[in-house]
Amino acid sequence: AVPSAPITGQELRNATLQVPRWPAGQTADCPRGPVRFDDGESAGAPGLKLTGDPVHVDVDRDGDEETVVALMCAPEGADYQVLAYGRTPAGGIRLVGQVLATAGSQGRPGVDVRHVHAIAAGSNGRVRVDVGDYPECCATASDLPQHQWRTYRFDGERFRQSGGPTSFGPNPKVGDLGLTASDVVMTRQADRSWRGTVVVRVTNTGPGAPPAQVEVNIGGLVRGATGWSGCTNDEFTPLCTVGVVPQGATRTLRLTVSTGTGSGRELLPSGGVVVAVHAQAGPDAAYPEPRLSNNRRQLYLIEG
């Protein structure tokens, strides 16, 4: 028998495809069953689309290559299905099986498969999938999901994992940041102003080592002369870059503050200073933390 021509990516992008059910959570209502695609997207469901390039693999080892593709549905967060399609005897398109589906928004971040980076053809009818442990969504840093290649094999009824890791190790971008800080001792100056130093110690108990950023709400105070070189110019709540804090390490910030030169204030501002630490990858991208109870402190101003 002459092998059938594999389904091309162009055919898949403009075909009616059988789509299995989506995982529980945000994408549970994404279209399933026969879904019509136009240029790789479903006209009736914004956010449902074929992503990346398909690969051709003879998954059932009958001499005809099937076409494997990643399908993403992202009404809010994103879930993925990796699906294998083959030809019917009449030349149409049929679903052979679901290679892999992400765990959905109810899955366990850092434990379950929550993202698909890429797919590739393996040897002897196998399919390789580059999976991640966190979803790419919203304000989450794009480099948060780990990369882990897993291999899947069709047994005649379904796809089962046949190679590669079966679990994720600790994510190097997820650490437990915390801070300690003492109340700020303010001393009277010759010009009648008050000056002091905010001392903040940032720690990381691991297991990963994310970059840290400290937010300092200085209330009615103004910045002093030293310690602010790595901070933004925001007048009231500057953000100070700390950098990567390795597991078990401590980084210390010493930020001078005052009531302003020659302010002549007899009383110190009552609001004090609030400091908070974040695992931050950029202005709009953060890394998750296992707990937040040790990330924020209220400091009071004390006359010295």
Mean pLDDT by runs of 10 across the 304 residues of the chain is: 82 96 91 95 86 96 95 90 94 96 93 97 97 87 94 97 96 95 93 92 95 93 92 91 95 93 70 92 84 94 92
Q: What is the pLDDT of residue 264?
A: 63
pLDDT digits (tens, 9 = 90+) for 119-150: 999 999 999 999 999 998 777 888 999 999 99
Query: Which of these, 100, 165, 105, 166, lies nearest to 140 by C-alpha position?
Result: 105
Chain-centroid distance, C-alpha 90: 44
For residues 172 and 204, what is the distance between their CA atoms, to the nearest angstrom?
12
Q: What is the pLDDT of residue 300?
A: 94
- Give, as one character, the DSSP assignment of residue 189: -
Q: What is the pLDDT of residue 198?
A: 97
Q: Tell me the two tokens of residue 53.
A: 């390039």
Question: 300: helix, coil or strand?
Answer: coil
CA distances from 72 to 19, 105, 111, 286 (A): 11, 14, 20, 23
Amino acid identity for residue 79 in this structure: D
pLDDT digits (tens, 9 = 90+) for 15-45: 999 999 999 888 899 999 999 999 999 977 7
For residues 197 and 257, what is the distance between their CA atoms, to the nearest angstrom?
6
The model's pTM: 0.87
